[in-house]
Amino acid sequence: MKLSLFLPIAFLSCPAFGQLPAYPIPRLESPIEFDGKIGKGEWDSIDTLSLVSHWSTYSDKPNARTLFRVAYDDKFLYFSTVCYDKPDYLREPTFERDRWEMNMDQVAIILDTYNDNENGVIFVVTPTSSRIDVSLKNDGQGDNPTDESWNSYWEASTSKNEYGWEAEARIPFSSLRFQITGDNVTMGLIAYRYMARDRLLDIYPNIPPDWGFWSFIKSSKAQDVSFSNVRNKRPWFTSPYVLGTAGHHHIDSDEDETTHPDKVSDNKITAGLDIQHALTDNMNLDLTFNTDFAQVEADDQVINLSRFDFFFPEKRRFFLERSSIMDFGFDKDNRLFYSRRIGIEDGKITPLWGGARVVGRVGKYDLGFMNIQSRASDGNASENFGVLRMRRRVSKNNSYIGGIFTSRTDWKGSNNFAYGLDGIINLFGNDYLKVNIAGSYDSGDTLDYSHLLEDRKRIYVMWENRSQVGFNYSLSYSQVDKSYLPGIGFELRQDFKAVGDRLSYGWFTDKSKLIRFIRFDLLGTAYYSNSKNDLESFLLSPTYYMEGKKYDYIKVAFNRYYDNVPETFSLSDDIEIEAAEYINKDVSIEYQTPAVKFLSAIFNATAGTFYGGDRITAGITPTYVISKYITLSGFYQYNHISFSDKPTYLAQVARLKVSTSFNVHLSINAFIQLNSLTNVSSINFRLRYNWKDGNDLYVVYNETMNHDGNTDPAIPFSDYRAFTVKYIHTFHLGR
């Protein structure tokens, strides 16, 4: 059936909130001249998608005229757009790869390649021909459902003219993983065009914004599309690298704190190899040998005012391919598998011999396997890390059950194993039930194998309504036993059980010229000591959120936090919070100027009581796009806490980042950070020349400097320094 006959009928006959019937994507009969100029040749025979307005006001009428087409041939999935607009209205702030922001015009397609209504990949093109590729998970739910560190192999080309701009993109089927049934492949597809000047987004199919900001990537609402006679070639992407480094770091020479740290030279020339191969149409193999992540951007310096560890996101590409399969999450950032436990020890890089990773789908099963071997370094033993994950879909409504097993072992006899069962069940409508049950065993435990779950359990149950319109909620129960210890997991606190979560009411104000959305939240969670059954802490936080048409927003929260601190913890070297009962009361305000502007900023402030003192915290995060060649972004946070019986706590953090892109191939990023609490500053400089996907030259300079000269013995000014040149070349074999 021709798309030109089928698509308008299917679109007009479908309910606004439902999915359209599946339809076949048209197959190209002749080659396309891939130059970013549409309106000629084979594109003329392809019908356009019917986009509707998603932002700033949801309606059936699009904000602007857009000709959006999708097609395919034996090798590629193509999409093209003709975006009508006044040339002066275009927002094109950068050439840089993978910079995905709200101040840039863009077009994109989102593919749920396994058609599982949960995961997907996003391919974005801007007027400068810059590309952004993103993986998404959890059906677009949560605060961070996307990962911009994921990359694929594909191409894009654009052109500008007197009536707007045009774009072409082609994605090799060999870069996608999907499941073939007979001669057909079915995927979910979403297409959108975004116009930054007024935060306007037109989308296909018709998806309402009821699930919050990320509604436009909600894969469960994607249009089912089909491809016939597609054969997924299984190339070998073989990427050897060579690397040269000059630098040093310091380690403590022994347990005597009066001894100056030893300086260790890091001068080296080394090589390694990464391999990607599709074992089947929907199962990927990644191999890495002598693994190195020298090109990864440095972590942000942070001030931690809590008594719990801080969570940092994963940025290393090897761990990101279909990483959602490996997810086994509880409340907040807690999870049974946290990949940053591999190759990073106490914030410092641990070298890796290499490893293997397999992720993909077999029938209704998602499968994941990983095994990594680290090298002995700076007193740390060589360790082996293993993960085995399996999930099975139980319905099309984003429901599954699964299990996971992780291991962490070394040659000295230390062993840690963690295991769990989990499930997400769509009860009805937007209501979901999530259940996670886990346990662990550590060779340091006093209990033996016969008591696998005794005092080592982890339980999490949550019932949530995922809509953000009208009355919605989440109710949860969480429990962590005293001896539960996942060796490659992340847990904020031990030995507790908690009940709580959220009651909300939100609505759109489409008739307002300034305000788009308003929401009231009542957040509350009570934590009890699991072993003593005493109330340990309690948070109650009424919150008001108002969002403007151009994604300016204000958020006000009134927080009351009771905390029965079980043991002393340190805010700094000379300030300790004693074990006692505290009631912290504060008001926090966050305001963002319109994010669509080239000059924007986020302001935040908190004032109130803090563990027997008075606290003021204020911060600003500005961004200024000077041109499409250079962008400045910064961060500054000021923390002041005054105590009647302790020294005054004063801590400041500042960051400045300069992003320069000369064209779509060459970019330079410079990142400077200052932390007054630790008296440390750091520099991260990274030049990337990427003339073809998989072929990269990196020049990277990193240094961490100490500014406290009053210690005895004096610590070195340059604690860590590395100047690195890395070249990666990818050979596409069998593509």
Read off the pLDDT of residues 118-157 as tens digits, 9 standing for 90 and up: 889 999 999 999 999 999 988 888 778 888 878 889 999 9
Residue 370's closest CA among 352, 390, 386, 351? Answer: 386
Sign of the dihedral defined by the CA atoms of residues 116, 118, 123, 125, in that order:
positive
Residue 479's closest CA among 462, 495, 464, 500? Answer: 495
Coil/strand/helix, residue 153: coil
**CA trace torsion 394, 400, 401, 403 (10° rounding):** 130
Beta pairing partners, 238: 275, 731
Task: Give the C-alpha distances (Å, rounded to integers) separating 730 from 72, 274, 549, 668.
Answer: 25, 9, 44, 22
Long-range Cβ contact pairs of 141-150 (< 8 A, separation 24 or more): 141/211, 141/214, 141/466, 144/313, 145/214, 145/217, 146/122, 146/214, 146/217, 147/320, 147/323, 148/98, 148/100, 149/98, 149/314, 149/315, 149/316, 149/317, 149/320, 150/121, 150/317, 150/320, 150/321, 150/323
Longest Cα separation, the chain: 81
Name every residue whose Cβ is closer than 8 Å to that of residue 615 and which is 6 or more positions away in sequence: 586, 606, 607, 608, 609, 639, 640, 641
Give the CA angle between residues 93, 99, 103 to the nearest 5°: 40
Q: Is 346 exposed, middle or buried (0-12, 13-18, 19+ CB in 10 A)?
A: exposed
Q: How far apart are CA 708 and CA 681, in angstroms?
A: 11
At the top level of CATH, the class of 3-228 is mainly beta
Q: How far apart are CA 399 and CA 423, in angstroms?
A: 7
**Which phi and psi (to 5°) does residue 276 adopt?**
-120, 135
Q: How far apart are CA 459 and CA 436, in angstroms?
A: 6
Q: How far apart are CA 423 and CA 420, in angstroms?
A: 10
Coil/strand/helix, residue 608: strand
Q: What is the pLDDT at residue 439?
A: 94
Q: How far apart are CA 230 and CA 76, in angstroms?
A: 10
Six-digit token string for 546 = 């108002």
Q: How far apart are CA 80 and CA 37, in angstroms?
A: 9
Long-range Cβ contact pairs of 673-676 (< 8 A, separation 24 or more): 673/298, 673/300, 673/301, 674/301, 675/301, 675/303, 675/651, 676/650, 676/651, 676/652
Name every residue whose Cβ is closer than 8 Å to that of residue 676 and which is 6 or more positions away in sequence: 650, 651, 652, 653
Name every residue whose Cβ is closer than 8 Å to that of residue 380 and which is 6 or more positions away in sequence: 345, 350, 374
Q: What is the pLDDT at residue 66?
A: 96
Residues of the chain with pLDDT under 70: 1-21, 40, 252-260, 396, 447-453, 709-714, 734-735
Name every residue whose Cβ is closer than 8 Å to that of residue 550 and which is 6 or more positions away in sequence: 56, 198, 199, 594, 595, 596, 597
Coil/strand/helix, residue 573: coil
Q: Is 15 exposed, middle or buried (0-12, 13-18, 19+ CB in 10 A)?
A: exposed
**CA trace torsion 99, 104, 107, 109 (10° rounding):** 40
Six-digit token string for 491 = 């847990």
Please count the other Cβ atoms lying within 10 Å of the Cβ belonging to residue 520: 14
Coil/strand/helix, residue 209: coil
Q: What is the pLDDT at residue 258?
A: 53
Would you mind telling me the total number of residues written for the chain in this entry?
735
* DSSP-assigned states of every residue in 2-16: -HHHHHHHHHHHS-T
Q: How far apart are CA 145 and CA 137, in angstroms?
A: 5
Q: How far apart are CA 479 and CA 467, in angstroms?
A: 26
Residue 615's closest CA among 577, 578, 566? Answer: 577
